Amino acid sequence: MLKNINGLNVNYVSYGKKGTKELVFLHGWGQNIQMMRPVGDPLEKEYHITIIDLPGFGESEEPKYVWTLFDYVECLHQLFVELGIKKPVLVGHSFGGKISLLYASKYEVEKLVLLGSPFRPGIKKLSLKTKFLKSVKKLPGMEKLAEQAKKHIGSVDYRNASPLMRAIMVEHVNLDISEEIKTIKVPTIIIWGDLDQAVPLSEAYVLEQYLSDAAVIVYEGCTHYAYLERLGQTVNIIKSFIKE
């Protein structure tokens, strides 16, 4: 579904149990809605799920100028207002996790689930040929997702992105939101792979210290896509965390 937010068409899917907790999923750089559905779909019987193609990715339009992450936050907030989403549980992977952190520093959320989320300079550009594709292919029922990843991650990574999206990526990579996230008080789960080569595990523990109510969960033998490599565990953790 498309929603026009201040002149920009933003694509999203919304499904699940209405009148329950709102779970909003934000994908990583160069990805799209399909990369978060494996986590959202198992939760739809208990919660209301919204997954967004962040502007510049999937079927959402590119921004009209070089956005900062603050622009993404304001776009999301306006979208939430339009959709009637209040105090969501934000689940964000990588780029989406950084946006989730910045959003939670400014607007009300109930809880945060961060999946390999950078928050200061140091993230490395991910190649399409990451260990993720190899590992996900080995998981039952995930072959289709790996093929989607080839199409969608590879088509919009840094090398193939438009000049505008390249400039936005530079803004993202160089932005330090350490001070902003120190204001966040909501319960937060931080899930990380110990083999993450994009954002090292050490960053998870720094992030944990900056947040007032956070815990790190490490997936041994997993990469920047740990949340998918151990999908069942991720879904169970989110379920337990929301019910706490």
> Tell me: the pLDDT tens digits for 20-54?
999 999 999 989 999 999 999 999 999 999 999 99
Number of Cβ within a 10 Å radius of residue 215: 12
Residues 6+ apart with CB under 8 A from 81: none
Least confident of 39-43, 149-153, 182-186, 234-238: 149-153
Position 213, amino acid: D
Region of residue 214 (left: phi > 0; alpha: psi -120 to 50; beta: else): beta
The pLDDT tens digits for 118-145 are 999 976 655 434 445 555 555 555 666 6
Q: 179 is in which domain, residue-wise? A: 2-243
Structural domain tally of the chain? 1
Q: What is the CATH number of the domain that holds 80?
A: 3.40.50.1820
Residues 50-63: what's their mean pLDDT? 97
The pLDDT tens digits for 174-207 are 999 999 999 999 999 999 999 999 999 999 999 9
Q: Do 223 and 230 touch, CB atoms closer than 8 A?
A: no
Angle (CA) 216-169-58 rounded to 5° is: 85
Q: Give the closest residue to 175 by CA, choosing from 122, 112, 105.
A: 122
What does the alpha-carbon distance between residue 233 and residue 1 come to, in Å, rounded to a whole number? 30
Query: Count H helices, E strands: the chain?
Result: 10, 8
Share the mean pLDDT of the chain. Answer: 89
